[in-house]
């Protein structure tokens, strides 16, 4: 059911049941947030998405408040700016001021909002975390001192992946996301899907394989489809100096919405492997020799024609792979049925 709301004086049509933040995003109205990820249930932890509603005596979190018909919403005011600056100052009071050396520089949600609201470190004095960097696994680097306790990593691990690898441990000032008993991540307790890295808004969780190889603004992002299975997950290859240095999520991907498995996120080493075959090979006298594509395809076509002429098309079949896309499997099926004249088509996923 459609309802009408007023956002910053502009009447907007909205769907009943949606939150204020969702309606604002659909209307192109910017509302700051750090704990929000559209893949997760609303959390309302960072309190940066506070908005004012006419008739309500206090600001409310836009990510957890559903819209109502006739609601008048204000997303920017002196009061909201003051509250957001205070929240950001509190976060920066226990955050390392090392943006120049941080892996997430230029791609950090906290840094962007601190710049937007002109907030500088030092607003609040007090004790700061002094926890060593964790690199006790081959894929993920954990810098606890940069954590802002937004809870996005623990929620995506429990709500989306449902692995339960990490949760908020400790209490009060010592609370932080970690594994049970703060044990190292291994294949016994972690899937290494990198979902926690994909949702982290700061440099607390980063891909270990890509550290020191380039920052986001210096990389070219190439959107592609994962080749490990036929699901069709999309992601971005981050390319620098002609080499893929890491994989990042494509949140608008229709199949996976930014979610990936360990193969899709970290299995890209083969791209630049010196053992990778980059040209067709034809065996002559028991040895493989490099050939052109025209030579290789011409040889394959001749062999198929010889087999069909000798044994008939019913003796020829096609066996496709579930690592291919549906479109590629369809093309193989069509080629076998139409070009060869055989109905012998099978796929490894059938069993």
pLDDT band at 111 (very low <50, low <70, confident <90, very high): very high
Q: Does the residue 84 lie in any domain?
A: no
- What range does the domain containing 302 cover? 282-308
Alpha helices, DSSP H, located in the chain: 20-26, 78-92, 109-116, 152-155, 195-199, 262-266, 293-311, 326-334
Side-chain half-sphere of 43: how many Cα atoms within 13 Å? Answer: 21
Q: Does the residue 164 lie in any domain?
A: yes
Give the chain's domain count. 4
What CATH number did the domain enclosing 213 receive? 3.30.70.20
Exposure string over 244-260, b if 16+ CB within 10 A, otherwise e:
bbbbbbbeebeebebbb
Of residues 78 and 229, which shows the higher confidence score? 78
Specify whether 292 is located in the same domain as 323. no
Q: Does the residue 25 lie in any domain?
A: yes
- pTM, full prediction: 0.86
| Percentage of the chain modeled with pLDDT above 70 | 100
Q: What is the pLDDT of residues 22-52, one digit of tens each?
A: 999 999 999 999 999 999 999 999 999 999 9
Q: Mean pLDDT lowest for which of 75-89, 277-291, 297-311, 318-332?
A: 318-332
Please state the rounded mean pLDDT for residues 222-243.
92
Specify whether 152 is located in the same domain as 268. yes
Q: Does the residue 93 lie in any domain?
A: no
Specify whether 320 is located in the same domain as 259. no
Please state the rounded mean pLDDT for residues 82-91.
96
Specify whether 170 is located in the same domain as 239. yes
Specify whether 350 is located in the same domain as 304. no
pLDDT at 351 over 70: no
């Amino acid at each position: 059911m459609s309802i009408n709301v007023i956002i910053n004086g502009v009447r907007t049509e909205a769907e009943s049941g949606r939150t204020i933040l969702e309606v604002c995003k659909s209307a192109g109205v910017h509302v700051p947030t750090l704990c929000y990820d559209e893949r997760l249930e609303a959390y309302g932890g960072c309190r940066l998405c506070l908005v004012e509603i006419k008739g309500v005596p206090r600001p409310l979190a836009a990510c957890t408040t559903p819209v109502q018909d006739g609601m008048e919403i204000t997303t920017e005011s002196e009061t909201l700016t003051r509250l957001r600056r205070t929240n950001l100052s509190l976060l920066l009071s226990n955050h390392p001021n090392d943006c120049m050396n941080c892996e997430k520089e230029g791609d950090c949600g906290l840094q962007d909002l601190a710049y937007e609201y002109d907030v500088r470190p030092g607003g609040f004095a007090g004790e700061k975390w002094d926890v060593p960097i964790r690199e006790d696994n081959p894929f993920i680097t954990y810098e606890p001192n940069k954590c802002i306790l937004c809870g996005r990593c623990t929620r995506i691990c429990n709500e989306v992946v449902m692995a339960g690898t990490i949760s908020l441990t400790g209490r009060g000032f010592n609370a932080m996301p970690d594994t049970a008993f703060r044990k190292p991540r291994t294949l016994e307790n972690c899937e290494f899907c990198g979902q926690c890295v994909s949702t982290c808004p700061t440099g607390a969780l980063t891909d270990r394989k890509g550290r020191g190889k380039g920052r986001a603004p210096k990389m070219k992002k190439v959107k592609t489809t994962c080749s490990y299975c036929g699901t069709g997950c999309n992601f971005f290859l981050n390319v620098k100096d002609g080499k893929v240095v890491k994989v990042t999520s494509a949140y608008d991907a229709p199949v996976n919405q930014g979610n990936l498995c360990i193969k899709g996120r970290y299995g890209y080493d083969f791209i630049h492997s010196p053992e990778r075959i980059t040209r067709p090979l034809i065996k002559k006298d028991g040895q493989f020799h490099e050939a052109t594509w025209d030579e290789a395809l011409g040889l394959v076509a001749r062999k198929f024609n010889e087999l069909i002429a000798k044994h008939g098309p019913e003796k020829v079949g096609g066996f496709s792979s579930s690592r291919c896309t549906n479109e590629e499997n369809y093309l193989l099926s069509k080629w076998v049925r139409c070009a060869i004249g055989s109905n012998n088509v099978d796929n490894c996923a059938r069993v």
